[in-house]
């Protein structure tokens, strides 16, 4: 949520004096989250003055060199928050730049306009031309496969019928031949 500059300055003043700050009624975050925001405003105000609290009319375009300069500060051991405050960058944005730099190097920090390039198309399957003898063999194998599948289905049905007959006449099987 965006807050007016006057409201931010008022909250910073209350924060520094130790006065309780009420969360605005239209704020959806908890008191703790709101106070974290106020602390960040105070740090930004201390580092950058009033200019750091103002909303920019448009987003700033960072060149790859500027991004690298800021990321390099974090790589040398400077805390992320401190580097972000000194350079007027959002902490989350700086964290993302650092991650991209670790993964892709300097190329990752370059600006790209437009859509991401599509992944290269998968290679199309090539039709394989078979020799006449290979074609005949393939046809024979397919016919044999169909025959075996049909035989498998037949045997399963036959087995089911046998099981069904045995279930219908359980006593018939238990009878023993009589002794005469």
Determine the Cα–Cα distance for residues 74 and 11; give it in Å rounded to an integer: 30
Q: Mean pLDDT for each 10-residue chunk of the chain (180 residues)?
A: 82 89 82 85 81 69 89 89 82 89 85 72 68 83 94 94 84 58
pTM, full prediction: 0.46
Count how many Cα atoms sit within 13 Å of the Cα of residue 155 in the half-sphere of its side chain: 6
User: For position 117, what pLDDT does the model report?
Assistant: 67
User: For position 113, what pLDDT does the model report?
Assistant: 72
Determine the Cα–Cα distance for residues 150 and 70; give it in Å rounded to an integer: 71
User: For position 168, what pLDDT does the model report?
Assistant: 82
User: Residue 75: which region, alpha, beta or left (left: phi > 0; alpha: psi -120 to 50)?
Assistant: alpha
Spatial contact of 52 and 44, defined as CB atoms under 8 Å apart = yes
Which residue reads 């700033």 in tokens?
A: 60
């Amino acid at each position: 949520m965006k807050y007016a500059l006057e409201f931010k300055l008022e909250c910073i003043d209350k924060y520094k004096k130790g006065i309780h700050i009420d969360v605005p009624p239209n704020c959806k975050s908890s008191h703790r989250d709101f106070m974290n925001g106020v602390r960040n405003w105070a740090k930004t105000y201390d580092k950058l003055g009033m200019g750091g609290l103002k909303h920019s009319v448009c987003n700033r375009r960072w060149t790859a060199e500027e991004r690298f300069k800021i990321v390099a500060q974090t790589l040398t051991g400077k805390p992320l928050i401190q580097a972000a405050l000194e350079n007027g960058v959002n902490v989350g944005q700086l964290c993302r730049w650092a991650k991209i730099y670790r993964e892709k190097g300097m190329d990752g920090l370059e600006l790209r306009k437009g859509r991401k390039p599509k992944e290269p198309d998968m290679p199309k399957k090539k039709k394989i031309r078979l020799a006449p003898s290979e074609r005949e063999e393939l046809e024979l194998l397919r016919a044999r496969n169909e025959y075996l599948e049909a035989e498998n289905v037949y045997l399963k049905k036959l087995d089911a019928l046998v099981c069904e007959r045995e279930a219908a006449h359980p006593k018939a099987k238990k009878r023993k031949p009589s002794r005469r």
